[in-house]
Structures are given as C-alpha cells and as structure tokens.
Amino acid sequence: MWRSKKSAVKKLGYGALLSIFLWAGQAWAHTPLCSCYDNGDGSITCEGGYSDGSSAAGVKMRVEQEDGVVLQEGQMNATSEFTFDKPAGAYKVVFDGGEGHRIEVSGKDILE
C-alpha cells in the first residue's frame, strides 16, 4: 500500500515536471509571426502564424492609430489572414495572440 502511494506521488511529481517542461518547450518553440503586405488596391493583408507552423486562426487583430486609438478590429481567418482597408493616416497593426505573443507592425513598414 505504502509502495503504491509513493508510486502515485512519484507519478504525479514526474507529471508535474513533465508539464513544466512541455510548457517551457512550447513557449520556446512557439514564436508568433506576422507580416503585412499592401495589396495595391487600397487594402492591406496580414499573414500570421507561429514558428512551429501552427495556425493563427482566430487571433485578435487591431488596426490602431499611433496614439492607440483603435481604427479597425477583427481576427485572423481560417487561413491565418486578416485583410483591412488601408487607413489614410499613420497606423500600426497589432497581432494580439495574448501575453508574450503580441506583435506590432508599423504601417510605414508595410510595402507591396
């Protein structure tokens, strides 16, 4: 009985350790990526994803003025793309995949 309890504790311990290891591993292997392109027709398309190839579908996207005022909001579609109308003034695009997974792309860096 004692042996089996100890064994259970051991298993739990290893499980916890494994969880930490996996979590740490995922954080490292999971860098967010977002690039935006001017489509030349008054619209901008941003492509998102992660460095391990996983999908960014559903990630929140915002188009903001430089002072943080939100101009447009949406999310990455099923193919991890977000297309919006190009604002008239200065702007930035925020890929908001949560803490540690946030990227800002300045409008002036978005080229055809």
Partner 1 sequence: MKKFVSALVCLAFLAPAAPALAHFQIIYTPEMAMKEGGKIDLALVFSHPFDAGHTMDMGEPEQFFVIRSRGENPPQKTDLLKTLKPITWTSLTNSGKAWETNYAVRGGDYIFCLVPQPYYEPEEESYIKQNTKLIVNVGGEPGAWMEPVGLPAEIVPLNKPYDRWTGNVFQGKVLLHGKPVAGAEIEIEYLNHEPLLDEKAFAKKAAVAAPQEAFALQTIFADDNGIFTFGIPKAGWWGFAALGLDPAYTYKGKKCSQDAVIWMKAVDMQ
Residues at the interface with partner 1 (CB under 8 A): 31, 33, 35, 37, 47, 49-56, 79-80, 111
Smallest distance from partner 1 to CB 53, Å:
5
CB of 109 to partner 1, least distance (A): 9
Which of 74, 77, 36 lies closest to 55, judged by CA? 77
How far, CA to CA in Å, does 26 sit from each of 6, 21, 42, 99? Answer: 30, 9, 37, 14
Q: Compute the least distance from the CB of residue 39 to partner 1, in Å.
A: 11
Given the complex with partner 1, which of 52 and 85 has the nearer CB atom? Answer: 52
Residue 86's SS3 state is coil
In the complex with partner 1, the residue whose CB is nearer, 46 or 63, is 46
CA angle 51/56/58 to nearest 5° reads 165
